[in-house]
């Protein structure tokens, strides 16, 4: 995710909801790095016994990680200097304060000042600094967003409520690729990286339901198969509603217009909801074709075959446009057991992919026709 590692002198912000696993991850990271460089873990949130308890739960009680319970910024920097830390973790930036400023920890002025001081400290000492930031509901603490422009790298920890899976998303990355995702599972022994993550968010129902399709996305540095759902319902009263969860609502509005104009499917007087299952957010236009398929499937109340996966961008003139990484997407769909793919014609692979029937489409009305024939009873 970091494009090769932590850069000395850089500052990284790790944001996320309370309880998601920030301290766990950084304890694991700190303990691993402490074998090579001095690492100082400064916590203003938990007591030493609490941190030790976590470390022993992680099997890390013998790691040479230096712990400091301190909320005073100057003291934290002094200790980091004293031990010549290669990595300083500050957990969390919202609970420390500079004595040069009045104002409680977490107030916007304190937050900015502390972050700026730590950026100067990182640059002048070549220490890598990781700041933990709690994502907060409107309230007493300012959120990590106000610090994004001050730091080199911003990562957010996300999860679907109740799920043991965690995603870290890079939203800013001065030294590596942006929009990377990393996948973890929270286990009894802390966070573990997940391999074969491309189908992590896919649950395969016994019998596919109308309105549910599988999209092959690729906006996270790798192919990712996701379930996309649509519900098209007659409006009972009032204005028709349009809602997009995890997807771009503007894009949905555009696709509805394209469906009307170029495929003669009118949903103007229907409530339309689309949802990306699993709490993910995907912004790439390559989900267009899957959104359209989910809408058509729900509207017709007919399920698409379980082995179908789709991707493709749709243009305003009704054309299905090629997307990047077409072949990777198709190979991944096949690897995950999908047998039919609807894809832009220009993304047809040069060599056939074993076990995958790729139906190339150039226009949205052709795609709708293909879908109807695939859904035929």
Task: Give the Cα-Cα-Cα angle 108, 27, 55 (nearest 5 degrees).
Answer: 125
Binding-site partner at residue 189 among Mg ion, ligand TYD, none, CB < 5 to 8 Å by type = ligand TYD
In the complex with ligand TYD, which residue's Cβ is closer, 6 or 55?
A: 55
Binding-site partner at residue 348 among ligand TYD, Mg ion, none, CB < 5 to 8 Å by type = none
Nearest to 304, CA basis, from 203, 218, 200, 377:
377
Distances (CA, A) of 129 to 37, 73, 80, 339: 13, 13, 10, 47
Binding-site partner at residue 57 among Mg ion, ligand TYD, none, CB < 5 to 8 Å by type = ligand TYD
Span from 99-107, 136-144, 186-194, 312-320 in contact with ligand TYD (CB under 6 A):
186-194
Q: Which of 36, 47, 50, 189 binds ligand TYD (CB under 6 A)?
A: 189
Q: Which residue is associated with the tokens 């007919």?
A: 302
Binding-site partner at residue 174 among ligand TYD, Mg ion, none, CB < 5 to 8 Å by type = none
Residue 18 interacts with ligand TYD (CB under 6 A): yes or no: yes
In the complex with ligand TYD, which residue's Cβ is closer, 190 or 326?
A: 190
CA distance 140 to 243: 31
Residue 62 interacts with ligand TYD (CB under 6 A): yes or no: no
Strand partners, 151: none
Q: Which residue is associated with the tokens 């894809």?
A: 343
Q: Which of 24, 95, 173, 217 binds ligand TYD (CB under 6 A)?
A: 24
Residue 190 interacts with ligand TYD (CB under 6 A): yes or no: yes
Please state the φ and ψ torsions of residue 147, each to the nearest 5 degrees.
Answer: -105, -10
Span from 5-13, 182-190, 221-229, 282-290 in contact with ligand TYD (CB under 6 A):
182-190
Residue 43 Cβ vs ligand TYD, minimum distance, rounded to whole Å: 10
Residue 132 Cβ vs Mg ion, minimum distance, rounded to whole Å: 6
Residue 191 Cβ vs ligand TYD, minimum distance, rounded to whole Å: 8
Residue 353 interacts with ligand TYD (CB under 6 A): yes or no: no
Tell me which residues touch Mg ion (CB under 5 A): 23
In the complex with Mg ion, which residue's Cβ is closer, 5 or 19?
A: 19
Angle between helices 22-33 and 48-57 (to 10 degrees): 80
The CB density around residue 261, as the number of other CB atoms within 10 Å, is 14
Element containing residue 233 per DSSP (H, E): strand 224-234
Q: Which of 23, 43, 127, 212 binds ligand TYD (CB under 6 A)?
A: 23
**Stated length of the chain:** 377
Token pair of 269 as six digits: 């007087």
Binding-site partner at residue 62 among ligand TYD, Mg ion, none, CB < 5 to 8 Å by type = none
| Strand 308-310 versus strand 212-217 pairing type | parallel
CA distance 163 to 200: 11
Residue 192 interacts with ligand TYD (CB under 6 A): yes or no: no
Give pairs for 253-261: CB < 8 Å, separation 24+: 254/316, 255/288, 255/291, 255/292, 255/295, 255/314, 256/295, 258/292, 258/314, 258/315, 258/316, 258/318, 258/364, 259/292, 259/295, 259/296, 259/364, 259/368, 261/318
Residue 27 Cβ vs Mg ion, minimum distance, rounded to whole Å: 9
CA distance 33 to 209: 48
In the complex with ligand TYD, which residue's Cβ is closer, 189 or 301?
A: 189
Q: Which of 58, 63, 353, 366 binds ligand TYD (CB under 6 A)?
A: 58
Residue 19 interacts with ligand TYD (CB under 6 A): yes or no: yes
Query: DSSP 3-state assignment of 242?
Result: strand
Span from 3-11, 50-58, 248-256, 329-337 in contact with ligand TYD (CB under 6 A):
50-58
Q: Which residues would be at the binding site for ligand TYD (CB under 6 A)?
A: 16, 18-24, 54, 57-58, 186, 188-190
């Amino acid at each position: 995710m970091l494009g090769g590692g932590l850069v000395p002198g850089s500052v990284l912000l790790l944001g996320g909801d309370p309880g998601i696993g920030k301290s766990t991850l950084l304890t694991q990271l700190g303990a691993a790095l402490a074998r090579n460089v001095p690492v100082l873990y400064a916590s203003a949130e938990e007591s030493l016994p609490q941190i030790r308890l976590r470390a022993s739960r992680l099997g890390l009680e013998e790691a040479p990680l230096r712990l400091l319970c301190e909320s005073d910024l100057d003291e934290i920097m002094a200790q980091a200097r004293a031990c010549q830390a290669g990595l300083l973790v500050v957990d969390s930036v919202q609970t420390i304060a500079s004595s040069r400023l009045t104002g409680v920890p977490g107030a916007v002025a304190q937050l900015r000042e502390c972050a700026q001081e730590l950026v100067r400290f990182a640059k002048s000492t070549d220490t890598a600094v990781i700041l933990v930031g709690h994502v907060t509901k409107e309230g007493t603490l300012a959120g990590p967003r106000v610090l994004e422009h001050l730091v080199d790298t911003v990562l957010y920890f996300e999860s679907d409520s109740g799920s043991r899976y965690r995603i870290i998303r890079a939203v800013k990355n001065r030294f590596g690729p942006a929009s990377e995702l990393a996948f973890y599972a929270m286990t009894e022994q802390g966070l573990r990286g997940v391999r074969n993550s491309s189908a992590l968010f896919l649950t395969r129902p016994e019998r596919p339901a109308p309105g549910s399709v599988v999209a092959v996305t690729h906006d996270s540095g790798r192919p990712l198969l996701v379930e996309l759902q649509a519900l098209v319902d007659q409006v009972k009263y009032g204005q028709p509603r349009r809602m997009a969860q995890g997807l771009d609502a503007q894009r949905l509005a555009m696709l509805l217009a394209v469906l009307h104009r170029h495929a003669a499917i009118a949903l103007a007087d229907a409530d339309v909801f689309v949802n990306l299952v699993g709490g993910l957010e995907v912004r790439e236009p390559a989900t267009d074709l899957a959104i359209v398929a989910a809408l058509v499937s729900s509207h017709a109340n007919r399920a698409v075959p379980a082995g179908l996966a789709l991707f493709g961008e749709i243009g305003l003139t009704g054309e299905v446009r090629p997307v990047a990484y077409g072949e990777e997407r198709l190979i991944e769909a096949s690897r995950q057991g999908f047998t039919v793919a609807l894809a832009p014609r220009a993304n047809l692979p040069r060599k056939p992919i074993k076990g995958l029937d790729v139906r190339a489409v150039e226009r949205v009305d052709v795609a709708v026709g293909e879908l109807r024939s695939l859904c035929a009873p």
